[in-house]
Amino acid sequence: MNLKDFETNYKPTWCPGCGNHAIWIAMRGALAELGLKPENVLIFYGIGCSGNGANFTKSYTWHSLHGRAVPSAIGAKLANKDLTVIVMAGDGDAFGEGLGHFLHAIRGNADITYVVHDNHVYGLTTGQAAPTADKGYKAKSTPAGIIEVPVNPTSLAVTNGGTFVSRGFSGNAKHLKGLFKQAITHKGFSFVDVFQPCVTFNKINTFEWFFDRVYNVDDDATYKNTDKMAAFGKTQEWGKKIPYGVLYKAKRDTYGSNLPQLKGQALSKRKITTRNLDKLTKEFA
């Protein structure tokens, strides 16, 4: 498999210089290097600039309602465990409308990969402040500056029982491709929060801003990404130094492996009639 196997007849319509381009290239590269076939990959897209990727990557796709990509993806994975299921969403979609679904997917350790395009703004609707924007950030929706503190998605993931918590950076597509490969092959809920600068609307958190601050924990031989407290400490670093890479990983049963209907005789294989429907309802109540 190669990059062309995942190409469509449509060309990206993102703004020139948008961080989405690197994510698009890295994901296609990861899928190809893992030897996956487009017909065995199902990608769910949220609403936003990231959602336009549904047209640019050859695979089965599902364009969800705002904030609802994660539960849709979990349902698909439970229905067909052999599919490689990935979710692509923006930080507004993921941590605004979809924050509750994000937390519950982590709790259950659903076997899907969640890639969030984190640029601190709602780019598709012209730059309103997203939940990850820093306090004081001024935008159309907050002309006097945000009064809330930002959502910290990696911190939430670690403390809520995440088994693969990571950060990527659109300024390092090669590393991002490797990160995606690790996330896709991880058994359980894999979360990749990608710093993806919006060159049109966010004039603060630019590529230059990130290049001056980010450092890769994967290059630090002394850092143990299996240490939960150390990982939580990394998620708290923001400002002068910002870590990215695999912050934390662990092993835990997946949601599908613990679901009663998928243990032993699957519920879907039982012949359901009006006579035994009440019995089945009581059995799994």
Residues of the chain above pLDDT 90, percent: 84
Q: What is the pLDDT of residue 281?
A: 60
Q: How far apart (Å, rounded) are the C-alpha atoms in residues 29 and 12?
A: 16
Specify whether 118 is located in the same domain as 159: yes
CATH of the domain at 108: 3.40.50.970
Average pLDDT over every residue of 96-117? 96
This prediction has a pTM of 0.90
Average pLDDT, whole number, for the chain? 91
Q: Label residue 280 by pLDDT band (50, 70, 90).
A: low
Question: Among 267, 221, 255, which Cα is nearest to 81's?
Answer: 255
Residue 167 near residue 87, CB atoms below 8 Å: no
Question: Among 121, 175, 156, 132, which Cα is nearest to 235's?
Answer: 156
Specify whether 97 is located in the same domain as 170: yes
Specify whether 239 is located in the same domain as 209: yes
Q: Label residue 260 by pLDDT band (50, 70, 90).
A: confident
Token code pair at residue 218:
């994967």
Q: How far apart (Å, rounded) are the C-alpha atoms in residues 281 and 279?
A: 5
Q: How crowded is residue 171: how many other Cβ atoms within 10 Å of its Cβ?
A: 18
DSSP label of 83: S
How many domains does the chain divide into? 2
Specify whether 245 is located in the same domain as 265: no
Q: Is the dihedral of CA 237, 241, 244, 248 positive or negative?
A: negative
Q: How far apart (Å, rounded) are the C-alpha atoms in residues 284 and 55?
A: 40
DSSP label of 267: G
What crossing angle do the helices spanning 99-108 and 69-79 adopt, rounded to 10°?
A: 30
The partner residues of 168 in beta bridges, in order of sequence, read: 194
Specify whether 242 is located in the same domain as 152: yes
Specify whether 36 is located in the same domain as 69: yes
If you average pLDDT over each of 50-54, 67-71, 77-81, 177-181, which comes out highest? 177-181
Q: How crowded is residue 13: how many other Cβ atoms within 10 Å of its Cβ?
A: 11
Q: How far apart (Å, rounded) are the C-alpha atoms in residues 35 and 41?
A: 11
Average pLDDT over every residue of 122-138? 93
Q: What is the pLDDT of residue 199?
A: 96
Q: Label residue 66 by pLDDT band (50, 70, 90).
A: confident
Specify whether 270 is located in the same domain as 144: no
Specify whether 270 is located in the same domain as 140: no
Specify whether 178 is located in the same domain as 274: no
Q: What is the pLDDT of residue 265?
A: 43
Is the model's pLDDT at 273 over the cut of 70? no
Residue 170 CB burial class (10 angstroms; 0-12, 13-18, ≥19): buried
Dihedral over alpha carbons 135, 136, 139, 143 (to 10 degrees): 130
Q: Report the residue count for the chain.
A: 285
Q: In terms of residue numbers, what domain contains 178?
A: 3-252
Q: What is the pLDDT of residue 262?
A: 65
Is the model's pLDDT at 283 over the cut of 90? no
